[in-house]
Structure 1
Amino acid sequence: MNHLPKPAAEGLRTRVFQIIFESDTPLAKGFDIALIVAILASVLVVMLESIASLRADYGALFFWLEWGFTLAFTLELAVRLYCLERPWMYLRSFYGIIDLIAILPTWLTLILPGAQTLVVVRVLRTLRIFRVLRLMQFVGEGRLLVDALKRSLRQIFLFFFSIFMLVTIFAAVMYLIEPREAGFTSIPMAIYWGIVSLTTVGYGDIVPVTPIGQAITVVLMLTGYSIIAVPTGVFSAQVIRAIREDRYSDEACPGCGHERHEQRAKYCLKCGTWLDETTPDPRLSEEERKVWRHKHGGEKQDDEGSPPAG
């Protein structure tokens, strides 16, 4: 979330804000944990309600439980907006959108019966558990994966577009040579068969019966085995690249030119040269320090806590 929520004013709104949006106090942490338990319970109710035997016996109970959860979550969202300085900004944020979507399905049942099954999206609200349990470092790891996915989107799109063209060609050929009784009633149906065969799923609802069609199917399946790992490889390469960029520096050693040092490295791994060119090497003698300061125009000064040269 780009915009950090702020309390609307001092007093009651600030105290409510500290309970709802923060987790530094026992009361605030208790509220978050209770909220997560309620979210999971509401999702469980929807799952149980989808079982015909349970719905027949406890349909009324499930109905009132779902409306109870919905009213509670609606009230909670209203209180969240009440204690915020810029409520509309929160509604446009990730968590705000999730909070809004979490209550809409049940209200939609008033005009669209059956929409309550969509309340399973409430499980996304449990992402707040990262904040409650101090696990925000996992959010950073998630951002790393998202960044890697964004970087590989073009390669993956090109791959899938090429695969789609290949499947379309195979499907057109199969539509020409296979009888309609085998299931190849149209090119779109043949494309469906081609995707199922290429991914080696093999549902068996459409099966070629001619020798040529069976041979083409074998070729398509073997092709699927050979290329199915390409998107995974592209994505994995981008993940490794992102990890390296996050961990390693691109600056070369001024002594030997070696690259790929860790971000926190002070000395070169190969030649031992001091890497931070903005400060003098603590191992320099006093005379060498004077030369270094003179060379750099006296702009950089030694740190007070630098150990004396030995």
Structure 2
Amino acid sequence: MSRRRSKAEQRPDGPPWRVTMHDVIFESDTPAGWVFDVGLLLAILTSVTLVAVETIPSVAERNWLILGRFEWFLTVLFTIEYGARLACAKHPLRYAVSFWGVIDLLSVLPTYVGFFFVESDANSFVILRSIRLLRAFRVLKLWRMMDDAEELSQAIWKARHKIIVFLIVVLVAVTISGTLMYFVENVIPRMTRGESPLDDSEFVASQFDSIPQAMYWAIVTMTTVGYGDIVPKTTIGKFISATLILLGYSLIIVPSGFVTAELTSKKSAEPAAETKCPRCTSAEHHDDAVYCYRCGERLAADG
């Protein structure tokens, strides 16, 4: 019940229309809130698609006017949404400077900046398109619509110490394997030929010309990406490469195991929900749910 009270405390005071607007915009348990979220999702996906399409020169030149009209329509739509969120927020200024408030502002600001502050000559046209690319920030608005995003982020945060240890192990493996490959592929062959390993004036046949370059190869190999721009030539180097690939396959699933364990332990520790909907008698609700997820009926405050 503590989480529900904290959620109820976020509802604004004042006229009923502010409370209703808050429930529609900030909650997704009601039918109206679900429709709002779906409409916002479609608008965000459409906007990000337009940003990507505008980077195709042939399409942008032929359809610039149509793309511009669509963009202004979406900008006005997101501006109305931003104003509505400020109007129904309990603390408008606090919301405006919050993470999501800044993201909402960034989703509309580039279009207005390009319209009012960029002149319409050939050179400023490039600047205008560069500014408008900042509209890709709108994709971050999708994160707010994910109900399980908070649960996933909490699981990652609880497993942060294990993940940090894992990253340290990976860094050690990359450093050791990169250093070994540098010696095996560069230093030893050059010493065998009587050349200086650190003399850049002499011909270097190996692609592993430095330890950072070899560490880059180790990261690409361990993650099983395998660009192929740097490859070992010696037999020992190929053996190290094969070992690193097998090690990468073994380690790549470790972080997901940490997060899965945290999610599983959280689910097993949660008590069974007892709050029932007075209309449809459904009892599978989150602790902080205000409305029934099935019929949209307001849940009893006492649970």
The equivalent of 1:6 in structure 2 is 12
Question: Once the 2 structures are TM-superposed, how far is the Cα of residue 231 of structure 1 from its aligned partner?
Answer: 1.7
User: How far apart, in 1, do the equivalents of 2:181 and 2:106 lie?
Assistant: 44
> For 1:110-121, what aligned pairs fall within 5 Å after superposition?
110=117, 113=128, 114-121=130-137
Instruction: Letter of the 2:137 partner, please give it.
Output: V
Q: 1:233 to 1:176 in 2, by over 3 A?
A: same
Decide which of 201, 204, 215 is 2:228's aligned counterpart: 204
**Superimposed CA distance per residue, residues 190-214 of structure 1 (whole angstroms, 9 cap, x where no aligned partner):** 1110011112221111001122211
Question: Once the 2 structures are TM-superposed, how far is the Cα of residue 154 of structure 1 from its aligned partner?
Answer: 0.7
On the 8 A contact 1:5/1:86 being kept in 2, the answer is no
Decide which of 53, 56, 65 is 1:60's aligned counterpart: 65
Question: Once the 2 structures are TM-superposed, how far is the Cα of residue 4 of structure 1 from its aligned partner?
Answer: 1.7
User: Which 5+ residue runs of structure 1 have no aligned equivalent?
Assistant: 131-138, 248-261, 265-310
What secondary structure, in the 3-state scheme, does the structure 1 residue paired with 2:107 have?
helix
Bigger mean CA deviation after superposition, 153-162 or 184-193: 184-193
On the 8 A contact 1:144/1:243 being kept in 2, the answer is no
The equivalent of 2:216 in structure 1 is 192
Q: 1:214 to 1:143 in 2, by over 3 A?
A: same
| TM-score, normalised relative to structure 2 | 0.65
User: How far apart, in 2, do the equivalents of 1:191 and 1:231 lie?
Assistant: 21
Corresponding residue pairs, total = 240
The equivalent of 2:262 in structure 1 is 238
The equivalent of 1:146 in structure 2 is 153
> For 1:75-224, what aligned pairs fall within 5 Å after superposition?
75-107=80-112, 109=114, 110=117, 113=128, 114-126=130-142, 139=147, 141-179=148-186, 180-224=204-248
What secondary structure, in the 3-state scheme, does the structure 1 residue paired with 2:269 have?
helix
- Indicate the structure (1 or 2) with the bigger Cα radius of gyration: 1
On the 8 A contact 2:12/2:18 being kept in 1, the answer is no
User: How far apart, in 2, do the equivalents of 1:51 and 1:189 lie?
Assistant: 34
On the 8 A contact 1:175/1:187 being kept in 2, the answer is yes
Instruction: Letter of the 1:4 partner, please give it.
Output: Q
The question of 1:225 aligning with 2:232 is answered no
User: How far apart, in 2, do the equivalents of 1:45 and 1:56 lie?
Assistant: 13
**Superimposed CA distance per residue, residues 213-267 of structure 1 (whole angstroms, 9 cap, x where no aligned partner):** 11211221122223222222222222211111124xxxxxxxxxxxxxx687xxx
Bigger mean CA deviation after superposition, 78-87 or 180-189: 78-87
Q: Percent identity?
A: 37
Question: Once the 2 structures are TM-superposed, how far is the Cα of residue 159 of structure 1 from its aligned partner?
Answer: 0.8
Q: 1:88 to 1:176 in 2, by over 3 A?
A: same
> For 1:250-289, what aligned pairs fall within 5 Å after superposition?
none
User: How far apart, in 2, do the equivalents of 1:263 and 1:77 lie?
Assistant: 35
Bigger mean CA deviation after superposition, 51-60 or 159-168: 51-60
Q: 1:185 to 1:38 in 2, by over 3 A?
A: same
On the 8 A contact 1:198/1:221 being kept in 2, the answer is yes
Question: Once the 2 structures are TM-superposed, how far is the Cα of residue 10 of structure 1 from its aligned partner?
Answer: 3.5
On the 8 A contact 2:106/2:134 being kept in 1, the answer is no
**Superimposed CA distance per residue, residues 85-136 of structure 1 (whole angstroms, 9 cap, x where no aligned partner):** 5211222445423312322343455575413233233244356767xxxxxx
Question: Once the 2 structures are TM-superposed, how far is the Cα of residue 160 of structure 1 from its aligned partner?
Answer: 0.9
| TM-score, normalised relative to structure 1 | 0.63
On the 8 A contact 2:182/2:209 being kept in 1, the answer is yes
Instruction: Letter of the 1:6 partner, please give it.
Output: P
Q: 1:5 to 1:187 in 2, by over 3 A?
A: farther
